[in-house]
Chain A
């Protein structure tokens, strides 16, 4: 050690990196961890694979290694077997379809109502005054706290679950869209006026298209939240759906089936996310966000 120090001192004080070549992993990590810098596709993919592999590895060790009993953590093969069985029975499709139809209906109704209202609210101060107090109040009420009321009013059928999704997404989406439309540059509107546009035209041909990328983003985000509310809705007074599947499996201690339910929800969510990103790219090729 002293020798090495001596050598370093007598030579010109070059930075360490040039005297000793850094290992490839260190330099790759160094490249990968610079804030806000893009990384190569290869580095990105290796990150994706790494996290997935670690989770899979831990799962495999814990389950096959017998560290955690199958009652708490079924092995991957147990889960696959349970998935195949549920699929063969036909119940997996029934549950998935039930959940999908509830979620898509509730979310779409919320979108149809919330997007125009949000755009108006972000644009017209008077509409903001009308809407904001109510929305801000309801927004803080947990949707699950309203389920008893909803059951009382609408019963325990599909309509009640659709209502849960609607309430859960509508109030959030109104505020998100209002924020998007409030942030549309005023100069953009003024340019349209100086080009001869009247108020109505400015709304339809400038304000609405200008909000589309932001609205699209928020549709994706609220769809994610809708899944959360769906499970809440299906855990209470329900006879089908992925949430019901999970709850029902718990009663029989079919942990493997619970895992199947979770996986299906995760995969469907991932699927929706990919669809939304694709749609954004196809429908709004001009968007600065892509």
Chain B
């Protein structure tokens, strides 16, 4: 596609789930996509299109029925610290403080405790949670828990950060703040990010490129390059350009939904 080599490639991935009563459902159908180094890529699609499944496959948590995932030239065969993940649900370990959570990865990799604490502090500062190092998750708000979860994933210095609708459970105001925070974190770390969402605005605001997925079975329908200037803030939401990109993505998803609808009418 371009001169820049792909960091992550997904080749012809298909996922079929066996139904209990026999028969099977194709969740993801011969899907191809790629993410370049230091790129922020969003996947949008209607709910149930298999975008979370796709992310779990990349994380190594789910095995594809066929096809392969290649990160830095090596085929993914299971979960690993090179692919950090932030989930939609709150997944901080409740028995660890914020610091203990963020240190979890570095400690597993056997780094000296003082270094782990230093790394933890850096990322806790980065997500704006300084002062809460010794708080337990139950003492934090939803937004704070997700910030800590982002810090925890980043503290492991993964090759790619996978985010599965991380702000989906938050209220609208908090979500905007979190998007701003993520933009600023990305400006400072330039991690490669693959971000799944059903929120079109969120996708256009954050991404360099947006992949639009079809309804089940999930395929890539379109790829849209978002050439909005960086660094971005939520101020961009009102710009003419932003609205143009948003309309483009929206149109693409709408076509898809209409197709699904008419297919259903014909079939029914």
**Interface 9-mer from B66-74, B77-85, B174-182:** B77-85
Interface 0/1 of B134-165, CB less than 8 Å to A: 00111000000000010011001000001000
**B-side contacts of A190, CB under 8 Å:** 56, 59, 61, 79, 85, 87, 91
B89 at the interface (CB under 8 A from A): yes
**A-side contacts of B60, CB under 8 Å:** 193-194
Expressed in whole angstroms, the minimum distance between the Cβ of A60 and any Cβ of chain B is 46
Q: Evaluate contact between A187 and B91: CB separation under 8 angstroms.
A: yes
**B-side contacts of A206, CB under 8 Å:** 93
Q: Evaluate contact between A195 and B94: CB separation under 8 angstroms.
A: no
A212 at the interface (CB under 8 A from B): yes
- With A210-B95, A212-B95, A288-B138 already in contact, the answer to whether A196 and B81 are too (CB < 8 A) is yes
A209 at the interface (CB under 8 A from B): yes
B105 at the interface (CB under 8 A from A): yes
- In whole angstroms, what is the CA distance A193 to B84 when docked? 9
Please report the number of residue pairs spanning A and B whose Cβ atoms sit closer than 8 angstroms.
71
- With A190-B85, A201-B108, A286-B136 already in contact, the answer to whether A195 and B156 are too (CB < 8 A) is yes
B24 at the interface (CB under 8 A from A): no
Q: Evaluate contact between B95 and A195: CB separation under 8 angstroms.
A: no
- In whole angstroms, what is the CA distance A197 to B109 when docked? 9
- In whole angstroms, what is the CA distance A192 to B94 when docked? 13
Q: Evaluate contact between A194 and B93: CB separation under 8 angstroms.
A: no
Interface 0/1 of B81-114, CB less than 8 Å to A: 1011101010101111000000011001100000
- In whole angstroms, what is the CA distance A196 to B84 when docked? 9
Expressed in whole angstroms, the minimum distance between the Cβ of A144 and any Cβ of chain B is 39
Q: Evaluate contact between A196 and B80: CB separation under 8 angstroms.
A: yes
A284 at the interface (CB under 8 A from B): yes
Most buried by B among A193, A206, A288: A193
Expressed in whole angstroms, the minimum distance between the Cβ of B184 and any Cβ of chain A is 23
Known: A190-B85, A209-B95, A210-B95. 11 other contacts (CB 8 A): A187-B89, A190-B91, A191-B93, A192-B104, A194-B59, A194-B60, A194-B81, A194-B83, A196-B108, A201-B108, A210-B93
Q: Name B residues whose Cβ lies closer than 8 Å to a Cβ of A.
A: 56, 59-61, 79-81, 83-85, 87, 89, 91, 93-96, 104-105, 108-109, 136-138, 149, 152-153, 156, 162
